[in-house]
Amino acid sequence: MFRYSISFIFLLFCSLGYAQEKAMEVPSEEKDSLVYKTAYGLRLGADISKPILASFNGNYTGFELVADYRINKKIYIAAEIGFEEKTSVEEYSNSTSKGNYIRVGFNYNAYDNWLDMNNEIFTGVRYGLGIFDQTLNSYTPNVNSLYFPSESINASITDSGLTAHWTEFIVGIKVETLRNLFVSTSISYKIVLAVNDPENFKTLFAPGFGRIFESGTGFGFNYTISYLIPFTKK
Amino acid sequence: MILCTAILSGCEKDDFCTKDPVTPKLVLRFYDANDRDQLKKTERLSIWAAGKDTIPTYRSVALDSVAIPLNTTTIETVYHLKINDFDGNLASNETATLTIQYTPEEEFVSRSCGFRIIFNNVRFSSDTSWIQDFTPAPLTTIDHQNTAHVQIFH
């Protein structure tokens, strides 16, 4: 949690620094025009929180590429593709989910930029699809009895070709730290639309969705660095 | 943002197993053999499985209902039930043997509760001793613990 707060503060400072720099420089550049143009194009990047998380957590690996394309002043088409592998260690079971996912949707920038700045406070929606395998590595029958205790059973039962469909609601911020280089952080709330469960077991983690809570909901966190390939200025 | 992060981390381990019991125990109720609708307590009842110590909660107690675990790693559990209706002297102990045979089946419950065991094709048999009669005679399934599985008449 502290790590996230520090990132957030860091982002704030970046944005402040940038704001001042731009405010001084812009009037001399475009003094004849009242219309400040901003770049339109394809923005490509990666989620750097996942490799960092993987380096601290031996039960997790993940990688995600992100892209968005600006279609008008406020709206961006956005997509993420990625891979995740996670071992869920529970009191009575140990299972591993791994697979690929894609999320597609829109971001809406609710922030009114000064001059030609290009920062965002955005909300977004996504449709997500994950295709994955889940392996039940081992389990201990919950017999709640010390008189006849149960022992851990090595199972190694894999169910392949499982799918999960979900929707996401996202809020986040994006800051242009260097020209065309953006740092973004966002959180998301996810709701399962449909998920395959292994026979006589349950999908505990779906790649792209994360941990599936009892109510069929989940949370996500992204910290991305992306680069804008500008096509045009409007 | 900080609030959301707090919510996020707070939700990590939210679902504890609140189901109790997960794996059902065998419930026995004791009735009067002469008046079969009437519950009858067992005097100085002790229960132990073959080759094991007495179950701590059932050591010389007067009860009309008991819940005892079945061995989930085998297909048979043999219980010895000792009563002493007279004076508590060792010589007047009466011991019955109740044999329970079954097919255990694993059933997934939830993330936090894991897998439970239910018992199919359950068959009971008893030697002739202080247990005069018991029901049910046919096969049954033990997948809950809400009502008695076996009525014992003595």
For residue A158, give its domain range.
Answer: 2-27+40-233
Residue B7 has pLDDT above 80, yes or no: no
Counting one residue from chain A and one from chain B, the pairs whose CB atoms sit within 8 A come to 98
Q: Report d(CA A103, CA A78) in Å as an integer.
A: 8
How are beta strands B150-153 and B26-31 bridged, if at all?
Answer: parallel
How are beta strands B26-31 and A75-89 bridged, if at all?
Answer: unpaired
Question: Does residue A195 fall inside a structural domain?
Answer: yes
Residue A7 has pLDDT above 60, yes or no: no
What's the distance, Cα to Cα, between the start and end of chain B in Å? 68
Question: Does residue A34 fall inside a structural domain?
Answer: no
Nearest to A145 by CA among B108, B148, B49: B49
CATH number where A194 lies: 2.40.160.20
**The pLDDT value given to residue A11:** 46
Residue of B nearest to A91 (CA): B112
* Structural domain count of chain A: 1
Q: Residues of chain A with pLDDT > 90: what percent?
A: 72
**The pLDDT value given to residue A166:** 97
Q: Report d(CA A157, CA A134) in Å as an integer.
A: 8
Full-model pTM: 0.79
A200 membership: H or E segment, kind and range:
none
- Report pLDDT digits (tens) over B15-34: 688 887 899 999 999 999 88
Q: Please report, as a single letter, which amino acid is at residue A73.
A: K
Question: Does residue A158 fall inside a structural domain?
Answer: yes
Is some CB atom of chain B closer than 8 A to the CB atom of A2? no
Sort out which chain B residues have CB atoms less than 8 A from A201's CB and list them.
108
Q: In sequence order, which residues have a C-beta less than 8 Å from that of residue A156 and are 6 or more positions away?
A: A135, A136, A137, A138
